[in-house]
Structure formats: C-alpha cells, structure tokens
Amino acid sequence: MDLFNSALGKNITFVRPGYFIISGFIGIPNAMYYYIFLFFVYIISVVGNTVVMTVIYLDHNLWTPKYIVVFNLAFTDLFGTTALVPKVLDLFLFNNNRISYSHCFTFLFFCYATLMMQILNLIALSYDRLIAITYPLHYQVKVTHRLMFSLIASFWLFAIAMCLTAVGLLTRLSFCKSSVVVNSYFCDHGQIYRQACNDKTPSHVFSTFLYVILLWLPLSFILGTYVCIIIALTRVATAQERVKALKTCTGHISLVAIYFIPVLISSTMQNIHPNSRIINHSLTSVFPPMLNPIIYVLQTQEIKTSLRKLLKITKQSKITMRKVLIR
C-alpha cells in the first residue's frame, strides 16, 4: 500500500469513498412515469423469460443445442433485469440514491456480466444458424450438446473474468473525496473511473479493450456468418427453399438488431444531452430482455407448438381434476 500511495504522488492521498451517489433520473422531468414504465417492463421480462425457460425445460423435443443457448439467453435476461431494475427502482423511487463502495462494485459486476453474456449468446446462435444452413447434412455432427455446453461455460468464465478484472482495476483508483457522483442510472464503469484523481490509464485501456471485443468483434462475426449464409443460399435450387431457410434466422436477426442498433446509435451520438443519454442507455438495457421471449414465442414455430401443447395438457388436467372432484 505504501508503494501504491507513493505512486499517486506526494500531494495526493489515496481515498476509497464511503459511497457513490447515482444521479440517474433525478434531473429528468416526470421521472415517476418512467419508473412505472420500468416496473411493467421488468414484470413482462420476468414472465416472458420464465415462460420460455419453462417450455424448453418441460418439452424434451426442445432439448437441442440451439435451445440450450436460447434457454441460457432467457436465464441471462431474467438474471440481468433482476440485478438491474429492482435496484434502480430502489435507488430513485425511494430517494435512496446512495450506494456503498462494495455494493456499487457488486452491482457493476452483475450488470456487466449479464450484458456480456447476452452478446456472447448471440454469437453462439449465429454459429448454430451458420452450420444449419451451410452444412445441413453435417449439422448433427458439428453442433452437438457437448459443444454448446462447452461454449456457454467458456462464455460465462470469460464474462466473469472480464468483470472481475474491471472491478479489480477500479479498486486501485483514488477519488480524493469521500463521495463520488456517478452520472448514470447504475454503477457505470466509465463514469466511475473517469472521476479518479490518480492514473486511470489501466481502466481506460481495459474499457476500450472490452468495447472492441464485446461490440465490434461479435458484430463483425455475426455479420460475417450472414454473408456466408447468403452466399450459401444463392446455391439453393428454389426460391421457396431460400425463404424457408431465411425464416429460421428471423428470430436471431431480430435479436441482433435489438441489441446492437441502440448501442451503435448511442455510441455515435456525440453531442447528446446527459438526460437523453441516460434514458437511451437504460432502454438499451431493459428492452432486449423484454422483447427476446416475445420474439421467440411469436416467431419460432417449435416454441409456439410446445406452448400450445403444454397449455392443452394443463387444460385437460384441470378438466380431469374437476371430474374427479365431482365424483
């Protein structure tokens, strides 16, 4: 610690703040209506993702490599919104916008870990569609349960390692005051490290690294897979077969658009008002988890069929139970 303090400079004392103040939606007019909106978005996300997970778990026909990833995506969305939205509502709805040092970094860890997993799941789904369309005869060999489980496990390990590294670098920063105001709706990594008064270069470099490896590389890979898919479809004999193959990709394409388009828009808008930036970023965080289950229930025939079957079985069970009770 003495060596670290000397590295800060003779006139700088290493200070670890007792708490952070999350400014968030405080300066936004009629913010109460937005809190109500967030609450309903959260309820829809919880119900929708729980339904998707339940349908996949109960229907053994959906125990395929593709739906292993879909199940993990639904779990990640459920876990991520539960880590984010209730805490956000607690911070601002009850005027409790102070969060302790350790709780802030825990909050940051879970929010970023689930965000990373949401993006990494899209990579696994794009690989699944690539093999299914370009190598349909070898799909069962190339895309196996073991491969998908290994991918998901490695993705979780990677996300956890990256978040631990980010938090570890933040703990080496001095803020030179007992409280720090974070101009965001949660413990935002960038907003925190920029306010440090000692050398923040490691955190800045790592943030740039994460931005590239978790935005541009996944997006480039996904776009590359669809270029390969389009080339493969040009070799398909009939237009009807091309349309049928593309329909299997509509759900995934919708997910990619929902995740990446808002992020790209917000990252390219330089002169945006702070309140608009906070609203935009918060919508980017809560909308995809809400829309994902809706997309898969409405656009995926297998899940719609399984859901109808489960509802039919439930209805028949209730009718049978009533007959037994009447007798």
The tokens 């003495």 sit on which residue? 2
Portion of the chain with pLDDT greater than 70, in percent: 88
Give per-residue pLDDT as tens, 218-245.
999 999 999 998 888 888 767 777 787 7
Q: Write the CA distances from 101 to 118, 155, 180, 184, 280, integer angstroms.
A: 26, 28, 10, 16, 26
List domains and CATH numbers for the chain: 16-326 (1.20.1070.10)
What distance in Å separates the CA atoms of residue 258 and residue 254, rounded to the nearest whole number? 6
Tokens 């994902």 identify what position? Answer: 292
Over residues 13-29, the mean pLDDT reads: 80
What would the mean pLDDT of 82-96 be, rounded to a whole number? 86
pLDDT in tens, 49-86: 999 999 999 888 888 999 999 999 999 999 999 999 99
pLDDT at 227: 92
Q: Which two tokens stand for residue 10?
A: 């003779």
Residue 273 pLDDT > 90, yes or no? Answer: no
Task: Give me the pLDDT at residue 5, please.
Answer: 43
pLDDT exceeds 50 at position 9: no
